[in-house]
Amino acid sequence: MAEATLLISSKNYSSWSLRGFLLARMSGLDFQEQPVPPDDVATRAELLLQSSSIRVPCLVHDGIRVWDTLAIAEYLNEIRPIAEMLPRERTARARCRSISGEMHAGFSGLRSTLPMNLRSHRPGFTVWSSARADIERITEIWRDCFDSWGGPWLFGRRRSVADAMYAPVVTRFLTYDVRLDEACGAYRQRVMQWPDMVEWVAAAKQEPEVIDELDVEF
């Protein structure tokens, strides 16, 4: 029997579920997935950005329920320190927390106009100005991390919480045909080749559920 359970919603549409899955895998914790149907009222509201409370993913471990993605990251880092999900060095660790928090709380233009949809590809998609500003900020963050910590991941040779937090953005850049500079494009490719990402995307493409509001052509 698995040590923990991770409640997730749609693999195709839920960026938060993807983050929770990558964090749990990164930690090395033995867990099983428990899907929450995307037609569940609360889950659907979260996917459509109609709810201020994000309760999925939710990690259930040792009688404890943890449902905010950053809280899950901190909890996993606490119980699995050997995984080094946050950088060892204090400056890098502080920056990792800061940019992860920025991803968690910000970029509303990108979220609302470029929803995650792993089964979709929209070449030539026109990105609105609010999302363009978010894209510029995100790529600025990535380049600054590469300059400061040398890559290939945001904080050097090891994947961190930040890489999991920004992974769904990478999928959006592919879905909506966002052009990137060489360094950011190479990072996008690395994230998509991350074995846990490959597994998640393959499963997402097999999901039967369709949410019409997230498949509409803007």
pLDDT per residue as tens digits for the range 152-206: 999 999 999 999 999 999 999 999 999 999 999 999 999 999 999 999 999 999 9
Domains in the chain with CATH codes = 4-83 (3.40.30.10), 90-201 (1.20.1050.10)
**134 versus 40: which is more confidently predicted?**
134
Give the closest residue to 106 by CA, choosing from 66, 50, 166.
Answer: 166
What does the alpha-carbon distance between residue 47 and residue 26 come to, in Å, rounded to a whole number? 24
The bridge status of strand 31-35 relative to strand 4-8 is: parallel
What does the alpha-carbon distance between residue 45 and residue 52 come to, in Å, rounded to a whole number? 9
Assigned token pair, 165: 């937090």
pLDDT per residue as tens digits for the range 54-78: 688 999 999 999 999 999 999 999 9
What does the alpha-carbon distance between residue 38 and residue 209 come to, in Å, rounded to a whole number? 8
